[in-house]
Structure 1
Amino acid sequence: MATQASELARLVERFDDVTVRDLAWLLFAPDLLREGDATLAHPFASAQERDATLVWLATLDAAPQPLHDHARDPKFTRLGIYAESLVRFFLSHGPAARLVASNVPLRRQRRTIGECDFLLESTNGVRLHWELAVKFYLHIGDAEGANAVRLSDYVGPNLQDRFDLKHARLVTHQLALTSRAEFAALGFAGPWRAQLFIKGRLFYHGVGDGHVEPAPEIGASHLRGWWLTASEWRGARANVSDGERVWVVQPRMAWLASRRLDAAAAATLIAESDAIRTRLATTVAPTLIAAYARDAAGKWIEESRGFIVPDDWPERAREFAASAP
């Protein structure tokens, strides 16, 4: 797991522009699900396409305005819509697969029954249907108990989403769209191979999560984070800024690739550390934060990410998880 995270950091850190970094994160981050549980999408058909994409991203990083014009739309207020725009740009302009169509609606008697995220053709002529999902779930199960971890033990921070529900929807409904008669009537010549493009991060209780064996459907190399209650955060020594580590609240649109912290911003955060600590210790909603540590060269590097949740959140989350069949 650490190897995958280190490789991802190495690939993303080479780019300066934050939007290019987000696109690189989507293309190179490990999948949330394991291969075999669902047919997973692979952005590159070969090592040559992967290498060509890195060269293309470097060129884009030097002149990112076309990507900004495409993806930095004020109407993109949802992280999923932003991620879709990045993948669409890659398929439209990148050196790998070619975009055929995106956001293709299927209707029956004037009622929309679904929408295909991406229809594309690989460089070797295979027609693919990609469904994109970017998800962030907190693990609420008892890692030390006798019960095996289930997908339902992964819940959205606002308790309006659960991994088992999303998984079922993706596999049984979304991936089946191109096999329906309503899709055939649209005239897109096939056959189409449906694949799931699923990225994100799963968060485990406590700063150390090595003892948690994930649900069997979860990819072994998935990205991990941590979560603490507000009381636990109050009592944690790690939240004290000592001039070598600072904490940053991550807005939702910054949940993809790691961000950079310059010296001036770090100095401001160190000066405001008491106020930040107090705000997080009294949070009334789950809040994602990132820890930045100063390396030997004096650069501020993202060390980890985690959620601070209200003290009553775990009980409500367990009830939400337990409502699964």
Structure 2
Amino acid sequence: MTDLSRLVDRFEDATVRDLAWLLFSPDLLRARAAGAPLAQPFESAEERDATLAWLAALDAAPQALHVRSRNPKSTRLGIYAESLLEFFLAQGPAARLIAANVPLRRQRRTIGECDFLLETARGARLHWELAVKFYLHIGDDERLSAPLSARLSDYVGPNLQDRFDLKHARLLTHQLALTSRPEFAALGLGGPWQAQAFVKGRLFYRDEAVEPAPEVGAQHVRGWWLTASEWSERNDVIDDSRAWVVQPRLAWLASRRLHADDAKSLTRDAAAIRAHLTAVSSPTMVAAYVRDGAGWREESRGFIVPDDWPERARAFAASPVMAE
């Protein structure tokens, strides 16, 4: 169990766990290669400890967080993550929220939106741009040789509509530059504002020997991915010691607790679940749970992809230009 897992497991409520994961998970980018300063939720150890105490109190009475973050009409993970971070900045014991989702317009056309403007206890005025990303490493089998090494363009979104290198470039050249534009100055919000990247998520690997791209954080959260055929071959025995759970998009952040009744249902339906996962038509995030005493714990998390996905993903990773 990782330090992050132990920290998240302090909390029972799923939304509080997600907020804790967002605040305490490692950055996806490496500080010295990110191209911009990385956001730090806490200025001091005292703020960190105060936040843990605040989360514990929130865990006991999470209704206000639920009201702010749960929108039954939206399944967009980015919107959900923004609502969690906004709640922390507005209600938590660390930095103070000045404004969120500030639109910049030119001739009545929106040209961008600043995610968060905040002020720390020491008076620093910060502009945070939030990105929560889940990329699968694909690589080029003909290029790679031991030790395997990755490029940022090798990390692709599961639906092949996003790529880490292009997201990184847009973050640096557009999003983090918003508070330096004349359209922002015209809003009268003062400054100067120091732009920082708040980039969290998980990267998934088919081969554990891959050396991450130099821009990737050394401690980033990792997962695995397999084709449907590969997953089926490795999980050809059905027993009651393991349960597989399909993760809906809004459950992609922190691990979830698997209670006894849920586990019984999953093990009872194991054959049907396995048949469904063996025939996936689109990349599907799953979590593997194993027995842990009287309960169940999440052992790993990964994607099962259709058998033709790797070929399409390699073509997508190699494409020279793509609109975000």
2:89 aligned counterpart, secondary structure: helix
Determine the structure 1 residue equivalent to 2:138.
Answer: 140
Q: Distance in 1 between matches of 2:149 and 2:227?
A: 23
Determine the structure 2 residue equivalent to 1:58.
Answer: 56
Q: Is the 8 A contact 2:149 2:210 kept in 1?
A: no
Determine the structure 2 residue equivalent to 1:158.
Answer: 159
| 2:5 is the counterpart of 1:9 | yes
1:132 aligned counterpart, secondary structure: strand
Q: Is the 8 A contact 1:139 1:153 kept in 2?
A: yes
Determine the structure 2 residue equivalent to 1:253.
Answer: 250
Q: Is the 8 A contact 2:135 2:204 kept in 1?
A: yes
2:265 to 263, 268, 276: 268
What amino acid does structure 2 have at the position aligned with 1:192? W
- State the Cα RMSD in Å: 1.3
Determine the structure 2 residue equivalent to 1:125.
Answer: 123
Deviation at 1:142, TM superposition (A): 4.1
Deviation at 1:324, TM superposition (A): 3.2
Q: Is the 8 A contact 1:152 1:324 kept in 2?
A: no
2:234 to 216, 233, 236: 236
Determine the structure 1 residue equivalent to 2:65.
Answer: 67
What amino acid does structure 2 have at the position aligned with 1:190? G
Deviations 1:27-69 (A, max 9, x none): 0000100112231000000000000000000000001111111
Deviations 1:136-168 (A, max 9, x none): 000001478247411110000000111011000
What amino acid does structure 1 have at the position aligned with 2:72? P
Q: Distance in 2 between matches of 1:124 and 1:86?
A: 23
What amino acid does structure 2 have at the position aligned with 1:152? S
Determine the structure 2 residue equivalent to 1:24.
Answer: 20
Deviation at 1:319, TM superposition (A): 0.3
Determine the structure 1 residue equivalent to 2:74.
Answer: 76
Superposed counterparts of 1:167-206, under 5 Å: 167-206=168-207
Deviation at 1:75, TM superposition (A): 3.2
Q: Is the 8 A contact 1:240 1:273 kept in 2?
A: no
Deviations 1:76-97 (A, max 9, x none): 3200000000000000000000
What amino acid does structure 1 have at the position aligned with 2:226? L
Q: Distance in 1 between matches of 2:225 and 2:80?
A: 25
What amino acid does structure 2 have at the position aligned with 1:104? V
Deviations 1:100-137 (A, max 9, x none): 00000001111111000000001100000000000000
Q: Distance in 2 between matches of 1:148 and 1:76?
A: 37
Q: Distance in 2 between matches of 1:69 and 1:240?
A: 42
What amino acid does structure 2 have at the position aligned with 1:191? P
Q: Which runs of 5+ in 2 are unaligned?
A: none
| 2:283 is the counterpart of 1:286 | yes
TM-score after normalising by structure 1: 0.95
Deviation at 1:244, TM superposition (A): 1.5
Q: Distance in 2 between matches of 1:306 and 1:74?
A: 26
Q: Distance in 1 between matches of 2:192 and 2:170?
A: 22
Deviation at 1:240, TM superposition (A): 3.4
Q: Distance in 2 between matches of 1:63 and 1:233?
A: 40
Deviation at 1:15, TM superposition (A): 0.4
Aligned residue-pair number = 316
Q: Distance in 1 between matches of 2:75 and 2:294?
A: 34
Deviation at 1:21, TM superposition (A): 0.5
Q: Which runs of 5+ in 1 are unaligned?
A: none
Determine the structure 2 residue equivalent to 1:324.
Answer: 320
Identity fraction in percent = 71
Q: Distance in 2 between matches of 1:299 and 1:234?
A: 26
Q: Is the 8 A contact 1:290 1:304 kept in 2?
A: yes
Q: Distance in 1 between matches of 2:273 and 2:139?
A: 29
Q: Is the 8 A contact 2:157 2:163 kept in 1?
A: yes
What amino acid does structure 1 have at the position aligned with 2:297? I
